[in-house]
Structures are given as C-alpha cells and as structure tokens.
Structure 1
C-alpha cells in the first residue's frame, strides 16, 4: 500500500521526521505538495471559503484542497493509499497492520479506514466488524467522527465519493467534509494506530510538543462575519449540519455507542 504524506515544501523538518519514521519500518513514503495559502487568490478564497457552517480560514481551505489533491491521486492510481498529514506519528507495527487490512478486509468493501485518535469521542459500532488476526487490531464501523484527518486509508471507491461530493458541495474543514459524507463505508482501527504530534502530550506519549501543524487546526477558532445577515446564514447552515448529525445518530442508535477509542501506548 502506497503511503502519501501531505507536506509543504517549506516544512523540511517535517519531511525529515517522516522519512526517518518510515525508514525504521521499511516504507518509502511519497510526498504530496500541500496547497499553501500563497497559492489561494483572494478571488478563489471568496468563492470557496464561505459556503460551509462558518467562514473558513485560508489555512483551512488550503488544508481541504490538499486533501482533495490526495483523493485525486487515489482515483488516478486506482489503488488504496494511506494518506497522512506531516505531523502524524504511527505505531511501530504499521506494516503488519497495513498487510492485514489489505488481506482481511475485502469482504467489508471499505471506502475509508481511519487510523487516528484525537481526544474526542466517536460514534462506532458496539461490535467489531472485523478482527485483524496477525496484528491484533480490530475494525469498528465508524458512524460519526468530529475531528481528525491526520491519517486514513482511502480506497478508490471512497475517493470517488468524496470528489463527487466536492464537485457540488461547498468546501469545509477537511475532517468535517470527510466525515459528513455519510455514504462512505467507513471504519475505525482500534487500538488507534496513529496520533498527531500535538496530541502526544495528552495521551502520555511525550512531555513536549515539537512542532505545531502548518496545514491547519480549527479548534477554538472564533470567526468574524461581514454582516448580521451573513451570520444568520452561517448559523442556519450550522443548525442544518447539527440536525444531520443527530439524524445520523438516531439511524444507528441501537447498534452504535459514543466513546473514546482506545490507544495502546506500548505500540508507539
């Protein structure tokens, strides 16, 4: 399975970090040049950043467009790819996990498999959809995710669904866009197989944070609005989005639970 890492050319220390991380496990990563905010004109920003539940920051739009480039790569190559942001830290047995996923999940017909955990509860199936025998991981049906695009396996069918949605839907934060695409056949790896570097302190994997994300974080962002009318329109979209999430939860209520995903620190 090919590994595709989204990386800005100026973030050379991150590229070195990823090269060293995957050299240890014998994987040669491919780097995808991320879209930078300098590449987004004011015209493009005004056209694409104001159709979601709140105005996007330019860095958030750049992040979305970077992931969109990665989805196109999956379609073009017609094979599943592990897509990572450049601050992702993976488990030491990532190779075995990827081999198990390729050999033991064909009957599930996955569109997307999320590897990440990020300090927030997810809505997942009460029972595993699949046990990965060699590596000891399991896959859960992933019904609702709120944050995190640090690392996921995307299959051609899933990439096509995301690109089709992007063709007629407004840009959003990458995580919100992906995980509100409810026709994706999505799964969650447990124990989590990936964590972003800024979460390592929270999970007891590090005492210090080495670098902040250059692709974009949306937590705690307070948007500004041009007018009261614009604010009302964004609020309306947000209410509709919340209603869709609530309906999604009701649809899976009897087979799902909302909980944190377990992370095994010994695997990192």
Structure 2
C-alpha cells in the first residue's frame, strides 16, 4: 500500500524522524510536499478561509489543501493510501495491519482511521472485522470529531471528499472529512497512530516534547471582523452541531460512544 507523508520543505527534522521511524518498521513512504502558508495569497485566503463554522487560520487552510493533494493522488493512482501528517507516531503493529488490510481487499469501505486523539468516538458496538495477525479490530465509525494524522483512504472515499468540495467550503481537515456522513468509515482498535503532541496525554512520554507545525484547533479562539460576521459563523456552527446530533440519533441503537483503546507496549520505541 502506498504511504503518503505530508511534509513541509522546511520541516527537515520531521522528515528525518519519519525516515528513522519507517526504517525501524521496515516500511517505505512517499513524501508529499505540504502546502505552505507562503503559497496562499490574501485573495485565496479570503476565498477559502471563511466558509466554515469559524474563520480558518492560514495554516489551517494550508493543512486542508495539503490533504486535498493527497486525496487527488489517491484518485489519480486509483489505489488506497495511508495518509499521514509528518508528526504521526506509528505503532509497531502497523506493518502487519497494513498487510492484513491489503489481503482483505475491502470493496465497500472508503476510509479506515488509525488515529486516537483524546476524544470519544461513536462506533459500532461490536467489531465488523477482526485480524488475528495484527490483533486489531475494525469497528464501524459513525462519528469522529478530531484527528486526521493517520488514515487509509480508498479511491471511492477520495472521490467523495473531492465531490463534496465542489459544493462545500474548506474546513479544518478532520472536520471536513468526518462531517461527510456518506463515507463508509472504519476505526482501528487498538489505535495504530498518535500525534506527537498527544504522547504525554497517553503517558507515552513524561511531558510534551514536540510542537506542531500545523497548529491544533481544539483551543483556538477565532477573531471576528464584526458582530454580524460572528452571528453568521455562529449560525453555521449551530447547523454543524445539529447535523452531529441528527447523526447520533440515526445510529444510537447500534452504536456506542467511547474512547478508543491504545496499547502502550506497541509504542515502546517512542
């Protein structure tokens, strides 16, 4: 399976980290040149950054466009890819898990999420697939709210995301992906990917040792140009929350909301 790592030209330390990590795992990857904020004109920023539930920072627009490039590659190659941000830390069982997934040859799946990120997800009550070799269960993923650092995307899923972009504005990458309820998505457990800024939260390092180049949005407080603009974005936000609530009602009898397990022993090399 092709592996695409989104990496800024200037982030040479991140690239070196990934080269070392992949050598240890016995995997190879293709570097995908990330979109830099320097490549986004003010005109483009005004056009792309103000159509979501809050104003996007330029760095978030750049991150979204970088993921979009990865989706386009998946469509062009007509082959699934593991898409990673360059601060993704991989568990030791990822090579076997990728092999299991390739051998299974999914025909009706659009996306498989490998990541865990300190928030509960809405998944099926029981696994829909179990792989003995990698000791991994795959659950139906009905609702995710954060994290796009590690996911397998199939050509069908990539096309659905690109089609959505024809009628929807860019958003933070994970928000855009997981608000597309037409995607047939799965969640891997135990999680196979975690971002560096989450290592401390899961007890994998004594304290946070990494700073994200992209910048995380969980605690970002937007600045609005006017009260009218704030009301406009608040209306969009409420619409998004309503869509999430409706989604939960649709699946509540076959779903559970919980944290995804992570096996610390599989991240011993961190």
Instruction: Say whether 1:41 aligns with 2:75.
Output: no
Number of residues of Structure 1 aligned to a counterpart in Structure 2? 267
Deviation at 1:138, TM superposition (A): 0.6
Instruction: Say whether 1:138 aligns with 2:125.
Output: no
Deviation at 1:105, TM superposition (A): 5.2
Partner of 1:118: 117
Distance 1:227 1:221 in 2: 18
Deviation at 1:237, TM superposition (A): 0.5
Partner of 2:150: 151
Deviation at 1:216, TM superposition (A): 2.9
Structure 1 unaligned blocks of 5 or more: none
Distance 1:98 1:229 in 2: 48
- TM score, norm. by length of structure 2: 0.97
Distance 1:233 1:263 in 2: 39
Distance 2:211 2:113 in 1: 22
Instruction: Say whether 1:227 aligns with 2:230.
Output: no
Distance 2:225 2:91 in 1: 45
Which structure 2 residues correspond to residues 16-27 of structure 1 after superposition, within 5 A?
16-27=16-27
Instruction: Single out whichever of 109-118 and 213-222 deviates more from structure 2.
Output: 213-222
What is the DSSP-based 3-state SS (H/G/I as helix, E as strand, rest coil) of the residue aligned with 2:72? helix
Deviation at 1:215, TM superposition (A): 2.0
Are the equivalent residues in 2 in contact too, given 1:55–1:223 (CA < 8 A)? Answer: yes
Are the equivalent residues in 2 in contact too, given 1:104–1:132 (CA < 8 A)? Answer: no
Partner of 2:50: 50
Partner of 1:30: 30
Distance 1:77 1:124 in 2: 30
Partner of 1:195: 194
Distance 1:248 1:95 in 2: 33
Deviation at 1:181, TM superposition (A): 0.5
Cα deviation 1:19-52 (Å, max 9, x = unaligned): 0000112111111010111100000000110111
- TM score, norm. by length of structure 1: 0.98
Structure 2 unaligned blocks of 5 or more: none
Are the equivalent residues in 2 in contact too, given 1:120–1:147 (CA < 8 A)? Answer: yes
